[in-house]
């Protein structure tokens, strides 16, 4: 099996895969086999705190021969293969060393038995048939995300206490990898974006350090007052697709991985003005590192950016030591960042190995089956439910006709069918936007009525300018018979493989222009407008706030349009401290808003803006739906999601 043969069969990247394939090819009996990596993941999930704190330890498995976007889309590329038995005891034996040893060894022995069927084909391949074609298969087992596992080693000539205190190794436990000829857990220590970077370096370190810094510098009372303002700033952030709201700020006890990821998206502007610039820059460089390593495709150019972000983070984090917040940086989770570049070269893009994937799978594989059970002897019922769900999924796959090549984009429902921010299937295209499926019945029906509704008296003139830009007529006329249709939303579908998306990497989100949202307030979102397709990043994009979506006919041709209020960029580059562009609402010389009617095809996707708060406290009465109207300048939030990070840098 030569190197070129492996390149066609192994659908991943990483030097480690090449090394393993080369080793296998040295055995002439293995020629024609296929290299497959088995990826394991397991962590605890609680299904109900109120009914006895029921805990389960599901074990998930995936293979390395699928693309990361398939694993992210949860298309059965990740499956639950068992529930681990983790015994409990009473208070008398909670800290007993014998019980701890028994519990650890039971864990490894259970894994060994569950995976025993893989052992024969780790030394001799077996020809199997999949979907009517033959696939020679050589299975090689490895354990990624082994931060969940205890590091173990058998060393008869070294005292167990020395191993534990000096190296963190438990010598009396035999690891499950000891039973497999092609498994070395120490070669497969990998990264975990969720626990090392998001919940570790960001949430448990930098966020807590800011609180500690404010109390040390300003005293406990004043420091808590500043943090209360930070919480109000976080709570005042405008709505955005898949952005979790924090009505009380960041001060709550039970943090999930999604909470930490959402806080990352809004925390930086909230502390700006209350902490030194180097602290802001430390957060910015950490966020840039997290978003760069999370990309679906990591190129050599990205690797240089990762290294640069790491160097800058180590430089700016010194402010925490200088100000007496921390005494040292000997922190394993931050130290792991130094190894990410090497690990990416070994194992490929980290987003396919993040434990966020297994934690998201808990809902489908554990929590929902538990809710559907009788709540009595639930494990057997949960296993049966998972088996039936797998059979139904397989049946749907077999019955589904193959997608037609070159098929047009799928017409997506935009009012009720898809919530804000959804992974969608369909052909892979760069981006497209569609108005809602049905117009609003109780909205304006003529240009004059819409002008009154949106308070834009010169709307007719704006539409004339729009028609002139579209058709260049000598005498632009009004829309035929004056009729138009108003829509409360549009759906933007775009290619975003680094975010949770469909098989083709496509994602859909809503852009709202509602006069009354949730029967409480008007909602008018912001958007990226593609003004220069040949230029990358924000140099080719403008930001605008939608006032209304509508469509009309002219010369029998339908024009889907948007009435927008433009934003102007502040400066020619992003802000040096936060790494985000700053914009402000555009006005004419007479201070009237700079409005325009644009074609819906020029809209790229939704944009998220966060106010530039400065150093002043914001009032308690300020609500999140006041955000876009109460401030004069805004950050273009490139941390809103990974796609925004790529296009708004």
Q: What is the DSSP string of 458-487?
A: THHHHHHHHHHHHH--SS--PPGGGBEEEE
Of 431, 466, 619, 449, which is closest to residue 541 (Cα–Cα)?
Answer: 431
The angle formed by the CA atoms of residues 454, 460 and 464, to the nearest 5 degrees, is 135
Read out DSSP for 276-337?
-HHHHHHHHHHHHHHHHHT-SS--HHHHHHHHHHHHHHHHHTHHHHHTTS-S----HHHHGG
592 CB-near residues (< 8 Å, 6+ apart): none
The angle formed by the CA atoms of residues 546, 551 and 553, to the nearest 5 degrees, is 150
How far apart, in whole angstroms, are the C-alpha atoms of residue 286 and residue 306? 10
Say if residues 645 and 290 touch (Cβ distance below 8 Å).
no
Strand order in the sheet with 35-42: 78-83, 58-63, 35-42, 133-141, 126-130
End-to-end CA distance of the chain: 43
Residue-wise pLDDT for 144-159, tens only, equals 333 333 333 343 344 5
Of 605, 641, 211, which is closest to residue 434 (Cα–Cα)?
Answer: 605
* 3-class secondary-structure state, position 119: coil
Neighbours of 67 (CB within 10 A): 17
Instruction: Output the six-digit token pair for 284.
Output: 């910015």
Q: What is the pLDDT of residue 582?
A: 96
3-state helix, strand, coil split of the chain in percent (to 5) is 40, 20, 40
Say if residues 589 and 611 touch (Cβ distance below 8 Å).
no
- Average model confidence (pLDDT) for the chain? 80
Which residue's entry shows tokens 């024609």?
32
How far apart, in whole angstroms, are the C-alpha atoms of residue 467 and residue 487? 20
Question: What residue ranges of the chain have pLDDT lower than 50?
Answer: 1-12, 130-158, 402-419
Helix axes 15-25, 340-347, angle to 10 degrees: 40
Say if residues 214 and 274 touch (Cβ distance below 8 Å).
yes
Of 642, 648, 11, 536, which is closest to residue 293 (Cα–Cα)?
Answer: 642
Instruction: Output the six-digit token pair for 561.
Output: 């349009």
* 3-class secondary-structure state, position 222: helix
Say if residues 242 and 420 touch (Cβ distance below 8 Å).
yes
Give, in order, the Cα–Cα distances in Å from 61 to each of 129, 358, 428. 20, 9, 28
Residue-wise pLDDT for 382-395, tens only, equals 888 888 887 887 77
pTM here is 0.83
Instruction: Output the six-digit token pair for 233.
Output: 């700033």
Q: What is the pLDDT of residue 285?
A: 97
Q: What is the pLDDT of residue 83?
A: 86
């Amino acid at each position: 099996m030569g190197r070129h043969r492996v390149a066609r069969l192994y659908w991943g990247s990483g030097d480690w895969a090449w090394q393993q394939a080369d080793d296998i090819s040295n055995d002439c009996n293995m020629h024609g086999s296929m290299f497959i990596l088995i990826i394991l993941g397991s962590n605890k999930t609680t299904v109900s705190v109120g009914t006895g704190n029921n805990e389960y330890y599901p074990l998930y498995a995936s293979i390395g021969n699928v693309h990361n976007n398939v694993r992210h889309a949860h298309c059965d590329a990740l499956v639950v293969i068992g529930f681990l038995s983790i015994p409990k005891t009473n208070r008398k034996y909670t800290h007993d060393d014998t019980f701890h040893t028994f519990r650890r060894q039971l864990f490894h022995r259970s894994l060994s038995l569950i995976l025993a069927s893989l052992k024969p084909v780790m030394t001799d391949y077996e020809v199997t048939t999949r979907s009517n074609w033959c696939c020679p298969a050589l299975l090689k087992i490895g354990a990624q995300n082994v931060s969940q596992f205890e590091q173990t080693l058998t060393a008869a000539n070294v005292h167990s206490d020395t191993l534990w205190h000096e190296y963190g190794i438990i010598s009396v436990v035999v690891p499950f990898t000891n039973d497999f000829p092609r498994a070395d857990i120490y070669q497969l220590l990998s990264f975990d974006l969720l626990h090392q970077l998001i919940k570790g370096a960001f949430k448990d370190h930098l966020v807590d350090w800011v609180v500690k810094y404010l109390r040390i510098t300003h005293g406990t009372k004043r420091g808590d007052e500043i943090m209360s303002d930070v919480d109000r700033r976080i709570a005042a952030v405008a709505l955005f697709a898949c952005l979790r709201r924090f009505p009380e700020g960041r001060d709550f006890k039970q943090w999930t991985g999604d909470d930490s990821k959402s806080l990352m998206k809004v925390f930086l502007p909230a502390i700006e003005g209350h902490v030194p610039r180097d602290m802001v820059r430390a957060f910015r460089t950490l966020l840039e590192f997290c978003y760069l390593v999370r990309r679906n495709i990591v190129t050599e150019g990205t690797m240089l950016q990762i290294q640069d972000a790491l160097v800058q983070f180590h430089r700016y984090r010194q402010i925490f030591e200088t100000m007496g917040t921390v005494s040292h940086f000997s922190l394993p989770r931050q130290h792991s960042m130094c190894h990410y570049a090497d690990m990416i070269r070994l194992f490929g893009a980290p987003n396919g190995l993040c434990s966020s994937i297994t934690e998201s799978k808990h809902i489908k594989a554990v929590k929902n089956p538990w809710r559907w059970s009788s709540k009595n002897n639930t494990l057997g019922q949960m296993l049966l439910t998972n088996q039936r769900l797998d059979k139904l999924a397989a049946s749907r796959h077999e019955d589904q006709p193959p997608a037609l090549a070159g098929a047009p984009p799928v017409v997506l429902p935009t009012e009720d069918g898809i919530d804000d921010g959804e992974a969608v299937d369909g052909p892979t295209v760069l981006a497209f936007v569609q108005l809602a499926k049905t117009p609003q019945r109780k909205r304006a029906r003529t240009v004059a009525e819409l002008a009154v509704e949106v308070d834009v008296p010169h709307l007719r003139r704006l539409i004339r300018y729009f028609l002139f830009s579209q058709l260049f007529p000598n005498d632009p006329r009004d829309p035929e018979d004056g009729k138009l249709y108003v829509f409360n939303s549009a759906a933007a579908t775009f290619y975003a493989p680094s975010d949770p998306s469909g098989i083709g990497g496509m994602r859909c989100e809503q852009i709202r222009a509602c006069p009354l949202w949730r029967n409480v307030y008007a909602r008018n979102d912001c958007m990226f407008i593609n003004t220069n397709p040949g230029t990358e990043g924000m140099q080719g994009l403008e930001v605008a706030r939608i006032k209304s979506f509508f469509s009309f006919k002219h010369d029998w041709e339908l024009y889907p349009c948007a009435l927008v209020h433009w934003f102007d960029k502040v400066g020619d580059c992003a802000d040096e401290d936060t790494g985000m562009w700053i914009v402000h609402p555009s006005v004419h010389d007479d201070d009237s808003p700079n409005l325009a009617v644009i074609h819906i095809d020029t809209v790229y996707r939704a944009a998220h803006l966060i106010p530039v708060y400065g150093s002043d406290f914001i009032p308690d009465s300020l609500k999140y739906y006041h955000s876009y109207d109460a401030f004069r300048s805004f950050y273009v939030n490139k941390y809103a999601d990974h796609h925004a990070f790529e296009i708004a840098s």
